[in-house]
Amino acid sequence: MVDTAPRADERVLKQASPARASSKPAVNAAAGPKLDVDLVAKMLLGSFPEVRLEAREIAKDPQFHRVEGLSLDEQRERTLEQMKLQAERGFQLRAFPKRLGGFEDAGGNLAGFQELVTADPSLQIKGGVQWGLFAAAILHLGTAEHHDRFLPGAISLEVPGAFAMTETGHGSDVAAIGTTATYDPATEEFVVNTPFRAAWKDYLGNAAKHATAATVFAQLITDGVNHGVHCFYVPIRDAATGEFLPGIGGEDDGHKGGLNGVDNGRLHFDQVRIPRTNLLNRYGDVAADGTYTSSIDSPGRRFFTMLGTLVQGRVSLDGSTTIASALGLFIALTYASQRRQFASATPGVEHVLLDYQRHQRRLLPRLAQTYAQYFSHDVLLRAFDDVFSGRADTDENRQNLETLAAALKPLSTWHALDTLQEAREACGGSGFLAENRLTGLRADLDIYVTFEGDNNVLLQLVGKRLLTDFASQFKGATKSDLAKFAAGQVAGKAYNEGGIRRVGQNLSDLAGVGHSIEALKDRDTQRALLQDRVDTMVAAIGSELNKVRTASPAEQAAAFNAHQDELIEAARAWGELQQWQAFTDALEKVEDAGTRKVLGWLHSLFTFTLFERHLAWYLIHGRISARRGQAVTSYIHRLLERLRPHTLDLIGAFGFAPEQVRAPIASGAEGLRQDEAMAYYANLRESGLAPVDEKAAKKKPH
């Protein structure tokens, strides 16, 4: 509230045309360090900059934009038409084999796909179903013969497809699906069947209307043995008439909370016969005589290997939702830098929203988190590309990739919903208008937190991996060793590495926020604190579970359940550590001093927001003293003040073009309105015709 005169950066925005204003905000005129916007924009573009820039051209094209007010049918048809346009441009080819016209560029493909979120999430997801699930299942689970037979139609969209894995009764627990594919050696066919209502395939994109084929997951049964879930290529509709083929039925899922350009629906199969060779047989095959063979001996590992090929969905969502969060913040922070409310100490001038501490508090920590995600996503995307390009396709790399994706996807998808909602509220009533896009984006992204792996289930997977790693570290350890771990005395290497003990001490000889916070600003200490929290939490749970390792399955399950919530929190902590590490690594590469300074503040804001969120834990476990704990929040407030003049630079580095933003409130229009109002009152005062306030009038002698 101190500086109420419009800042130079806001003036520029106000005087700019809408198109100009919603592009990169101009350089910041504040004194002190300055962010190099172009440099940071380049950092945020990540490892596949050309692909992203190319994809943004599609995202900017009005043909691909979401239109409000269409009926359900119109939305679905428009989205299909948009996909055809994409296909004509060859946008979808990137991931596919060169011999089929593709580029074999797995990472680049996902980078481009993510950028579509600013055009229309429905387009992104319907395309994702077609090329990232249906065609990708053929690519990854099928073999060369399947590629030749099925991929061209899937790629060209001649054959719109559904990815029929989820059932009404089974989502996250894919291994337990009810659909069966029983081999009949007499005809050399599989018989695909839905045995009961809960085994109907459900929520499948493209299934309600457009799909003429589907990659169907079913229990493969041959010779009286169930070999577990495999994937089959099943034609489902007559392409000419759009009618279901014999034995196939379905239902429309109807309206959804968002993504209504995608026609989700249900499918069921009544003894539907398909050729034996429609089994996508990369990891398991059935010979003409019914003999089952697989290159992977363990049914469990085989199942997870097949499902592992689906990790790209999670990787994509991590990147897409990060871009959507950035867009929401771009809109809300641009508006906050122009919108005025409540009189300031300067007569005739009202405060800009962004000068309110609360407003900063609501938006800037979310900006810091979004930055962290840009960097951690790039780490994830590179890990994905390493494996899927074949350059570093080892079991260990695959497992690490899956764990990282399972940790980051929940954090970034939840962050998007939270951020878009806060952005909407920060824009008040105008945030609720569809034209300003925040509500629509949020509605469309809502499902991202439960599809491609429910967030809680994914975090539990990460937690289990952490427990496994923990256990393998201590094979042969005594119970007493483990108990010590649980007590947090020797919890992790980090705690003993010197940094944290110091921070935990209540240094009563130090006065003021500045001193007491100093130790927490050291990046090695930060890393140690974050790492130690993960280690200690996992050790505590591991030790508890260890107590029942010889108990009955039911007792073991009960013990696990009694720590489920903590385990998921531990997994979240691990994910936060990955984000922190990626942000730190990116920051440490920056050479420009001003950029290093400003990004350093943003990094601190991210880190201290984590400390504040988990402060009770750090206090209880003696890792941060009460005195330092109190200083955490004060320091966050100081960082908000420091970052406030750099806000427009920070959102400018996202590199959004006006055609990607498209929200009238982020166009500069609000600034023009505020200028007009201030000019009106200034003129009125000068004219001498302004009415006197009653209060002032009463003071005058009558």
Rule CB under 8 A: which of 457-486 touch a second copy?
460
Nearer to a second copy among residue 34 and residue 201 (C-beta): 201
Nearer to a second copy among residue 93 and residue 640 (C-beta): 640
Amino acid at 541: I
Does residue 455 bind a second copy (CB under 8 A)? yes
Q: Nearest 5 degrees, angle CA 416-CA 417-CA 421?
A: 115
Amino acid at 475: K
Pairing status of strand 350-352 against strand 201-204? unpaired
- Distance, C-alpha 667 to centroid of its chain: 26
272, 247, 162, 254: which is closest to 210 by C-alpha? 162
How would you class 264 by CB atoms within 10 Å of its CB: exposed for 0-12, middle for 13-18, buried for 19 or more?
Answer: buried
319, 439, 429, 425: which is closest to 381 by C-alpha? 319
Nearer to a second copy among residue 177 and residue 587 (C-beta): 177
Nearer to a second copy among residue 292 and residue 474 (C-beta): 292
In the complex, least distance from residue 638 CB atom to a second copy, rounded to whole angstroms: 10
Does residue 166 bind a second copy (CB under 8 A)? yes
Contact with a second copy (CB under 8 A): which of 187, 226, 271, 291? Answer: 226
> Phi, psi at residue 411, to the nearest 5°?
-65, -45
CA distance 76 to 74: 5
CA distance 433 to 436: 6
435, 478, 504: which is closest to 661 by C-alpha? 435
> Which residues ranging from 256 to 275 are in contact with a second copy (CB under 8 A)?
256-258
CA distance 348 to 689: 16
> Which residues ranging from 628 to 687 are in contact with a second copy (CB under 8 A)?
629-630, 637, 673-674, 676-677, 680
Does residue 688 bind a second copy (CB under 8 A)? no
In the complex, least distance from residue 464 CB atom to a second copy, rounded to whole angstroms: 13
Contact with a second copy (CB under 8 A): which of 186, 241, 243, 255? Answer: 255
Contact with a second copy (CB under 8 A): which of 38, 565, 585, 588? Answer: 565
Contact with a second copy (CB under 8 A): which of 143, 172, 397, 581? Answer: 172
> Phi, psi at residue 285, to the nearest 5°?
-140, 160
In the complex, least distance from residue 98 CB atom to a second copy, rounded to whole angstroms: 36
In the complex, least distance from residue 275 CB atom to a second copy, rounded to whole angstroms: 21
DSSP state string for 478-499: -HHHHHHHHTTSS--HHHHSSH
Binding mask 346-365 for a second copy (x = CB under 8 A): x---x----xxxx--xx---
Binding mask 49-68 for a second copy (x = CB under 8 A): -------------------x
Nearer to a second copy among residue 49 and residue 257 (C-beta): 257
> Phi, psi at residue 101, to the nearest 5°?
95, 0
> Which residues ranging from 7 to 46 are in contact with a second copy (CB under 8 A)?
none
> Which residues ranging from 408 to 427 are in contact with a second copy (CB under 8 A)?
417, 421, 424-425
Contact with a second copy (CB under 8 A): which of 253, 497, 518, 544? Answer: 253
In the complex, least distance from residue 591 CB atom to a second copy, rounded to whole angstroms: 34
Nearer to a second copy among residue 101 and residue 257 (C-beta): 257
Q: Which two tokens stand for residue 156?
A: 């060209």
Nearer to a second copy among residue 92 and residue 219 (C-beta): 219
| Residues ≥6 apart with Cβ < 8 Å to 157 | 83, 84, 87, 130
Pairing status of strand 340-343 against strand 350-352? antiparallel
| Residues ≥6 apart with Cβ < 8 Å to 152 | 100, 158
Query: How many other C-beta atoms lie within 10 A of the C-beta of residue 291?
Result: 12
CA distance 666 to 663: 5
Nearer to a second copy among residue 50 and residue 435 (C-beta): 435
Does residue 221 bind a second copy (CB under 8 A)? yes
Binding mask 599-628 for a second copy (x = CB under 8 A): -------------x--xx--xxxx---x--
CA distance 476 to 615: 34
Q: What is the 3-state secondary structure (H, E, C) of 298-319?
A: CHHHHHHHHHHCCHHHHHHHHH
Does residue 112 bind a second copy (CB under 8 A)? no
- 89-98 burial, b at 16+ Cβ within 10 Å, e below that, comes to eebbbbbbbe
Tokens 């229009």, residue? 669
Does residue 548 bind a second copy (CB under 8 A)? no
Does residue 581 bind a second copy (CB under 8 A)? no
Contact with a second copy (CB under 8 A): which of 65, 170, 382, 484? Answer: 170
Does residue 550 bind a second copy (CB under 8 A)? no
CA distance 605 to 369: 9
CA distance 181 to 175: 14
> Which residues ranging from 328 to 347 are in contact with a second copy (CB under 8 A)?
340-346
In the complex, least distance from residue 55 CB atom to a second copy, rounded to whole angstroms: 26
Nearer to a second copy among residue 400 and residue 430 (C-beta): 430
Binding mask 289-308 for a second copy (x = CB under 8 A): ---x------x---------
Contact with a second copy (CB under 8 A): which of 32, 101, 246, 254? Answer: 254
In the complex, least distance from residue 514 CB atom to a second copy, rounded to whole angstroms: 16
Pairing status of strand 213-222 against strand 161-164? parallel
In the complex, least distance from residue 17 CB atom to a second copy, rounded to whole angstroms: 16
Contact with a second copy (CB under 8 A): which of 169, 185, 235, 308? Answer: 169
In the complex, least distance from residue 134 CB atom to a second copy, rounded to whole angstroms: 18
Are the beta carbons of 259 and 125 closer than 8 angstroms?
A: yes
> Residue 231 pairs with which residues in a beta bridge?
217
436, 334, 370, 437: which is closest to 649 by C-alpha? 334
In the complex, least distance from residue 348 CB atom to a second copy, rounded to whole angstroms: 11
Nearer to a second copy among residue 172 and residue 496 (C-beta): 172
Nearer to a second copy among residue 235 and residue 299 (C-beta): 299
Nearer to a second copy among residue 24 and residue 465 (C-beta): 465
Q: Which long-range contacts (CB under 8 A, 24 or more apart) does 559-565 make?
A: 564/460
Amino acid at 311: V
CA end-to-end distance (rounded Å), the chain: 37
> Phi, psi at residue 227, to the nearest 5°?
-90, 10
Binding mask 189-208 for a second copy (x = CB under 8 A): ------xxxxx--xx-----
Query: How many other C-beta atoms lie within 10 A of the C-beta of residue 55?
Result: 23
Nearer to a second copy among residue 199 and residue 211 (C-beta): 199
Residues binding a second copy: what is the number (CB under 8 A)?
113
Nearer to a second copy among residue 109 and residue 460 (C-beta): 460
Contact with a second copy (CB under 8 A): which of 433, 471, 477, 510? Answer: 433
> Which residues ranging from 121 to 150 are in contact with a second copy (CB under 8 A)?
none
Does residue 562 bind a second copy (CB under 8 A)? yes
In the complex, least distance from residue 359 CB atom to a second copy, rounded to whole angstroms: 8
